Amino acid sequence: DYCIEEFLPTSIFSDLLNACDYYNLEKLISISESYIKQLNPFKEYIFFHEYYECFKWIYTYYSSFELPTLQSTEYIILLKNIINSNLYEVMMDLVFKKRTISGIYDFSYFDFKNSSSMINRGNHMMILYNQSKLSEMLDYCQDLEEEYSSKNNYIRLLDIYSLKGFAFSNTEKEKFEKLVSQINHTVEAHNSNIPEIKISQLLKNIGLQAFRIDMYNIAINYLEQYIAMDSPYANIVGIDLCISYQKTNKINQLKSFIQSKEVYKGDSQYENLLNYFILKYKYQTDNDELSYFIVNKVPIIIDNTMGKYKQFFYEELSMLVEQTKRYKDLKTYLDSTSDMLPI
């Protein structure tokens, strides 16, 4: 007979949670890989199996950024009173990531507000944002900022800065500029300790937040840096960058950005919207065809979370109609996007 405590001293789980909180990838991979090997001969036994699977999920995520399946998250949630509590905190962060990325916003499983884990207290901030409790979110964020700064946890501090910007509206641009200044200062002071993937996430989020509140020059600055890092999601932010270029009359930069691109024929909403700029600036498509694209393609592509894109293409169509005189196109477009956010 084997006792699981022989393989898994309690200190291991404290170390694991600490590595997660401070985003110590090397330690997370090292611990999980070591215990996968040690538990492998016993993986068919009760308790050993659960721990073995957890270490496998942790290793897979932090070595290749592949999250557990949705079905697996259901299983992990049920492990609350079975596995070590610190290990459960690490696992519930993965569950939270997977379910929110998959568009599942049932937060009844997550009691993160007073969690022992810094990363999950940060996740609670995201829950408040998704529940539109922005004032409560900002108050909670202030507490986290003080704690993370006092513990020199600058990676998680940047994580919450990255989310904080979404709480600001068009009328709070000074607050957003102050946040951007805080971010720049933190990155400059601690750049050597911040992994590239965290810098990439930060650039994308701040760029998209700036675009959302019409701060187009800041959006251009951050999104250009994000794309320069060879992000696999460059085209996802491409539509925001192109609109920002056009709004600031930086047409040469816009043309340079789309010059290497061809008309996209896949399923991505964002890349299909990018086709408009490819047609307009790379192929100099005539106004009738551009109008056709907006009236017949855009309403199919965008959904009711994309009100800012609806507004932009309405403005584009209005300008095109001055040339084409096809005024009915405006009504057709408005009728077909009536369930979106109002113009």
Measured CA to CA in angstroms, residue 328 lies from 185, 226, 317, 335 at distances of 51, 40, 11, 11
Mean local confidence (pLDDT), 193-218: 93
- Say if CB 275 and CB 254 are below 8 A apart: no
pLDDT for res 55:
97
pLDDT, tens digit, for every residue of 75-97? Answer: 999 999 999 999 999 999 999 99
5 has pLDDT over 70: no
Output the pTM of the full model.
Answer: 0.86
Mean local confidence (pLDDT), 134-143: 93
Mean pLDDT of the chain: 92
Residue 49 pLDDT level (bands cut at 50, 70, 90): very high
342 has pLDDT over 80: no
pLDDT for res 341:
67
pLDDT, tens digit, for every residue of 94-117? Answer: 999 999 999 898 999 999 998 999
- Residue 301: partners with Cβ closer than 8 Å, 6 or more residues away: 269, 272, 273
d(CA 203, CA 198) in angstroms, rounded, equals 9
- What tokens were used for 51? 């721990």
pLDDT for res 282:
95
**Burial code of 98-136, b = ≥16 C-beta within 10 A, e = fewer?**
bbbeeeeeebebbebeebebbbbbbbbbbbbbeeeeeee
